[in-house]
Amino acid sequence: MSSHKPSKSPLLILKKGESIESTRSRKAFTSLLSSHDGTEIIHHQLIKGGRWGITPEDDQTNILESIYLLSGKMTMHTTEKEYLLEPGDFIAGQPVSEYLVFTAIEDSEFLYVCSGPMYHHYSGATKKMELLAVEIEKKDGYTAEHCKRIKDLSMLVGEKMQLNSESLHKLYFGALLHDIGKTKVPESILLKPDKLTNDEWKIMKEHTRFGAEILRKTNIPHLILAADVVEQHHERYDGSGYPLSLKNDQINIESAIIGLVDSFDAITSDRVYKKGRSNKSALTEIKQLRGIKYHPDVVDIFLSILEDY
Ligand SMILES: [Fe+2]
């Protein structure tokens, strides 16, 4: 008589700090601990002020997503309200049916378990977009920090305006990727040291539509969601912006925020061809243009935040 023992796969043991795969950014560290048959276990570390989010899945999918906070403190914005999460708190959804935005109010660590292969699908594609965005800002004469500053300041404004979690998602990716469309603008125009001709300027302005197209083609829900925001980030409150000369509340509030923050950063940043002006001088200009180029509520919140920033 023969006995049969089921074959076993070897036990995977990762010592602290080890992972199968890791990604690191300035405010987040992500380690894929285990992955099998579509299920992933991921260890996240968020530095104070860092943010992370979950996008709702199509109801047809039955993916389980859960979060277990190991240490630190985080806020969780849902569509309706904001919660404080502390160590031991557990969140789960199957599927998660609304946008969730997590902000670390202290350095925090959590485990994220997902029954679908989100890590490679979403993180990989989003990271690629972010790198592209940073590359294009460098070509445009900015440092790599420009995209992150726009994102951080925009999120502070959005949170203070009490935007809901869906809107904060749009704002986060819209801010980070606002100029991604410049990847489709010829370098002869993008890098031209002299003043652009009218025809060249027309092509340059198309970066808003190009950016929206790029995001819509990704098939990734949180990037598609940000497409409209990117398309409108040069619209201005009085209708003097582009590409559609939208006015007042026709403009997405997220685009209005990014438009103001981007202008402030452009005025105050040193570029290859010009020295940045002082914060004080930029703020004087922004106050003068309150309710003209910039949404008055956004200006008021922005000014109040900048005092502490
Ligand atoms: Fe732009």
User: Do 202 and 242 touch, CB atoms closer than 8 A?
Assistant: no
pLDDT at 174: 96
Handedness of CA 193, 199, 202, 206 (dihedral sign): negative
Cβ neighbourhood burial of 289 (10 Å; 0-12, 13-18, 19+): middle
- Ligand 1 centroid vs 36 CA: distance in angstroms? 41
Question: pLDDT-derived band of residue 2, with 50, 70 and 90 as boundaries?
Answer: very low
- Ligand 1 centroid vs 293 CA: distance in angstroms? 15
pLDDT at 3: 45
Task: Report d(CA 43, CA 305) in Å as an integer.
Answer: 32
pLDDT tens digits, one per residue of 30-65: 888 888 877 888 899 999 988 888 888 665 577 888
Please state the pTM of the whole predicted model: 0.82
Choice among 146-160, 264-278, 281-295 with the minimum mean pLDDT: 264-278
- Ligand 1 centroid vs 165 CA: distance in angstroms? 24
Measured CA distances, 168 to 45, 78, 156, 157, 287 (Å): 20, 10, 10, 10, 25
User: Do 45 and 28 touch, CB atoms closer than 8 A?
Assistant: yes
Percent of the chain topping pLDDT 90: 52
Please determine, for residue 4, whether its predicted confidence score (pLDDT) is greater than 60. no
pLDDT at 273: 65
- Ligand 1 centroid vs 252 CA: distance in angstroms? 15
- Residue 289, Cα to own-chain centre: how many angstroms? 27
- Ligand 1 centroid vs 108 CA: distance in angstroms? 33
User: Do 172 and 101 touch, CB atoms closer than 8 A?
Assistant: yes
pLDDT at 1: 47
Task: Report d(CA 112, CA 90) in Å as an integer.
Answer: 10
Task: Report d(CA 17, CA 200) in Å as an integer.
Answer: 50
- Ligand 1 centroid vs 100 CA: distance in angstroms? 27
User: How large is the average pLDDT for residues 104-115?
Assistant: 93
Task: Report d(CA 90, CA 68) in Å as an integer.
Answer: 5
- Ligand 1 centroid vs 179 CA: distance in angstroms? 5
- Ligand 1 centroid vs 258 CA: distance in angstroms? 9
pLDDT tens digits, one per residue of 173-202: 999 999 999 999 998 898 888 888 999 999
Residue with tokens 């980070």: 176
Q: Rounded to a whole number, what is the largest CA-CA distance in the chain?
A: 91
Rg of the chain (C-alpha set) = 22
Task: Report d(CA 105, CA 51) in Å as an integer.
Answer: 10
Q: Helix, strand, or coil here: 33?
A: strand
Map out the domains of the chain with their CATH numbers.
Answer: 21-116 (2.60.120.10), 122-308 (1.10.3210.10)
Please determine, for residue 11, whether its predicted confidence score (pLDDT) is greater than 90. no
Please determine, for residue 267, whether its predicted confidence score (pLDDT) is greater than 80. yes
Question: pLDDT-derived band of residue 13, with 50, 70 and 90 as boundaries?
Answer: low
Choice among 10-24, 59-73, 95-109 with the minimum mean pLDDT: 10-24
- Ligand 1 centroid vs 78 CA: distance in angstroms? 29
pLDDT at 6: 47
pLDDT at 94: 84
- Ligand 1 centroid vs 40 CA: distance in angstroms? 36
- Ligand 1 centroid vs 262 CA: distance in angstroms? 8
- Ligand 1 centroid vs 174 CA: distance in angstroms? 11
- Ligand 1 centroid vs 208 CA: distance in angstroms? 7
pLDDT at 48: 92
Count of residues making up the chain: 309
How much is the mean pLDDT over the chain? Answer: 86
Task: Report d(CA 25, CA 13) in Å as an integer.
Answer: 25
